[in-house]
Structure 1
Amino acid sequence: MSQLEDRFGRRFHYLRLSVTDVCNFKCGYCLPDGYQSSGKPSFLTLNEISHLVDAFAQVGTKKIRITGGEPSLRRDFTDIIRLVADNEKIQTVATTTNGDRLAKRAKAWHEAGLRKINVSVDSLDPRLFYQITGENKFYQVMKGIDAALEAGFDRVKVNAVLLKGINDRALPQFLNWIKKLPIDLRFIELMETGLGRDYFKQYHVAGREIKSWLQQQDWQLDPIHVDDGPAQNFSHPDYLGRIGLIMPYEKNFCVSCNRLRVSAKGKLHLCLFTENGIDLRDLLTSNSQQEALITRLHEQLETKKQTHFLHQGVTGVTQHLASIGG
């Protein structure tokens, strides 16, 4: 079965699979008013997820990141991890979490086959953490990171969205934290979404400014790895931890795109922005539909654009990142 490839020669071996758009945090850059239900949710079932994973595995997917919303809010989250990990063609099972349930579940998730974990921590100051997330759970999340390291995760990635005047001045504090910890700290440049234009204008920090500051502190750009995607990664001889920068407004950001997204309701998103998604759910009920599903994936990749056009001020139709897993 031929690997997924678009018109620009980019190959896609990485799937970000959302299993819910529900989240129990209220981060200002994502869900400032908290999750707003629009009736009884109808998220992908375990059976549908199984058919989806099988199809993507057949066309070259090697890594699947289970996302949300907050994916651990699903009662069958551990079962989803095990289902993905049991597929012999999937080499890496990852997740991104707000860390609320990590302290209690890290060991079980690792035993189920989870091997990579990203935890969102936008501040190391408990008061700022509460200001950004709307939840007074800083210490709970930090316990979760410790539990993940103890459970056998060799490294933990920590995501921080930098916000002007809120946490952008705390870079030295972040760096001091990872000096003796095997943590990959990723600073994510704030992206404008359909609901966040005013927020973006007020709090956006250019990623190139952070890159320049790191280089002044003798952080060195690492060689590019096939799994890096658009991230620029940095190391320092005096630090056990590492730094990654996600800079969507950087020139050529999309050149190394290697990921596709499927929403919690079964829509394929070729990009985090720009389009409404292509429904796959009608082809997720039985194994007999696998060939048709794979054909649809190949056909839709022919329509993938070369770039997201964020640098031109085009934010697309994405209202908030929780809806398709960020």
Structure 2
Amino acid sequence: MVADKYGRQVTNLRVSLTQRCDLECFYCHREGQERSSLEMTPEEIFRIASIGVEYGISKIKLTGGEPLLRGDLEDIVRLLSSLPNIVEVSMVTNARQLNYERAVELKRSGLSRININLPSVKEVTYREIVGRDIGDALRGVESAVDAKLLPVKLNMVLLKGLNSDEVEDMMRYAKKVGAILQLIELEPIKRGSLFYNKYHHPLDQIEREISSKASSVKVRYSMQMRKVYTVNGLEVEIVRPVENPEFCKHCTKMRLTSDGKLKPCLMTQENLLDILSPMRRGESIEVLRRIFMDAVYMRRPYYTYGKNQARIIGGSS
């Protein structure tokens, strides 16, 4: 297992499968990636991931865009789950394309669990945020639960003035379907300061209210010291990526963009390393391993102790 210059081990690989999506959520950061139509084949994804496994990667999360738009998604999952020492292959999706049959097939292919981006359970709010009706998304949530892609986690990014007053509604829904709720702070990626200041909703007050009702709390030490509260049998996880040195201090992730670039940090575009082009040129495995290790050594905490003022990426407006 390898570590970067700050002693942080790299055990998780986030693989963006495509930049295509069936939604246009205005707050989406697209994993911090610039738009690109280039996509890796299942075999290329497998080869790059296998290099990561050599250096200690044990968990893989598939992201996008929308991963379900890949017709070969099951093949990708099957290949990745066959890698030695991989203990989990999971996925982030909006679930709109997920019916029960496909959920079962993904489970059979080796998908362990699923995170579903669901900004609201109210029809009007959901449509305002993503521009579509909510029905397909809710059916996708039910399909994931019924197919035992567990635990199903619902990702709710808090947006001031839009869904910030709907946390209790989401908590009731998550408990009803048997999911875990993740409340996520809006990240200042690819948006200017005006946008960020307009929609960013601090989690402090919400967390205090949840904490006051919780019967227990645990800390996920391997996941940026996140707190998970249990409220009437429902687990609510608080995700604070902004101005949070702990988020960076305990980061274990390497990212792979859909066009084949290693991305050591979500929050910056300054240190991308292309591994797909050398692979397609036929470079040796030694060269590819060196590129992976170079990416590991380029990792540095974006927010650091004593210097943790939020930096707004994407301009000043």
Whether the TM-score (by the shorter chain) exceeds 0.5 is: yes
Letter in 2 for 1:101: Q
Q: Secondary structure at the match of 2:182?
A: strand
Question: How far, CA to CA, are the matches of 2:241 and 2:300 in structure 1?
Answer: 15
Q: Is the Cα–Cα contact under 8 Å of residues 29 and 199 in structure 1 kept in the other structure? A: no
Point out which structure has higher relative CO (alpha carbons under 8 A, 6+ apart): 1
Aligned-residue offset at 1:192? 1.2
Aligned partner of 1:218 in structure 2 is 214
Q: Does 1:199 align with 2:192?
A: no
Letter in 2 for 1:216: S
Q: In structure 1, which of residues 259, 267, 276 is the aligned counterpart of residue 253 of structure 2?
A: 259
Match of 1:117 among 109, 114, 117: 114
Shift of 1:317: 5.8
Question: Which AA in structure 2 matches 1:134?
Answer: G
Q: Contact 2:117/2:154 (CA < 8 Å) preserved in 1?
A: yes
Equivalent position of 2:174 in the other structure: 178
Q: How does 1:135-150 map to 2 (within 5 A)?
A: 135-136=132-133, 138-150=134-146
The answer for unaligned runs of 5 or more in structure 1 is 319-326
What amino acid maps onto 2:131 in structure 1? Answer: G
| CA deviation after TM superposition for structure 1 residue 31, in Å | 7.4
Range moving further from structure 2, 142-151 or 91-100: 142-151
Find the aligned partners of 1:283 and 1:219 in 2 and give their Cα distance: 53
Asked if 1:127 corresponds to 2:124, the answer is: yes
Instruction: Judge conservation of contact 1:51–1:286 (CA < 8 Å) in 2.
Output: no
Instruction: Report which stretch shifted further, 47-56 or 214-223.
Output: 214-223
- Provide structure 2 residue ranges, at least 5 long, that are not aligned to the other structure: none
Q: Which residue of 2 aligns with 1:321?
A: none
Which residue of 1 is the match for residue 76 of structure 2?
Answer: 80
After superposing the two structures, state which structure 1 stretch, 279-288 or 166-175, moved more.
279-288
1:9 aligned residue = 7
Post-superposition Cα deviations, 1:182-206, rounded to whole Å, max 9, x if no partner, equal: 3111111011123343221111111
Letter of the structure 2 residue corresponding to residue 242 of structure 1: E
How far residue 233 of structure 1 moved from its aligned partner, in angstroms, is 1.7
Q: Is the 8 A contact 1:103 1:145 kept in 2?
A: no
Superposition CA RMSD, Å: 2.4
Shift, 1:311, TM fit: 4.5
Partner residue, 1:188:
184
Residue in 2 that maps onto 1:248 = 241
Note the alpha carbon deviations across 1:5-34, whole angstroms, 9 max, x for none: 1111110110000010111111121279xx
Q: Work out which of the residue numbers 212, 229, 234 in structure 2 matches 1:234.
A: 229
For 1:42-121, list aligned pairs within 5 A: 42-104=38-100, 105-121=102-118
Q: How many residues align?
A: 307
Distance of 1:305 and 1:84 partners within structure 2: 27
CA contact (8 A) 2:188 2:312 kept: yes
Could you tell me whether the CA contact under 8 Å between 1:162 and 1:188 is conserved in 2? yes
Task: Kindly state the Cα deviation for residue 180 of structure 1 after the two structures are TM-superposed.
Answer: 4.3
User: Take 1:27 and 1:219, find their aligned partners in 2: how far apart are those partners?
Assistant: 34
Q: Does the Cα contact within 8 Å between 1:51 and 1:290 map onto a contact in 2? A: no
Q: CA deviation at 1:220?
A: 3.3
Residue in 1 aligned with 2:277?
282
Query: After TM superposition, which residue ranges in structure 1, 4 or more long, deviate above 6 angstroms?
Result: none
TM-score, structure 1 as length reference: 0.87
Change (3 A) 1:189 1:287: same
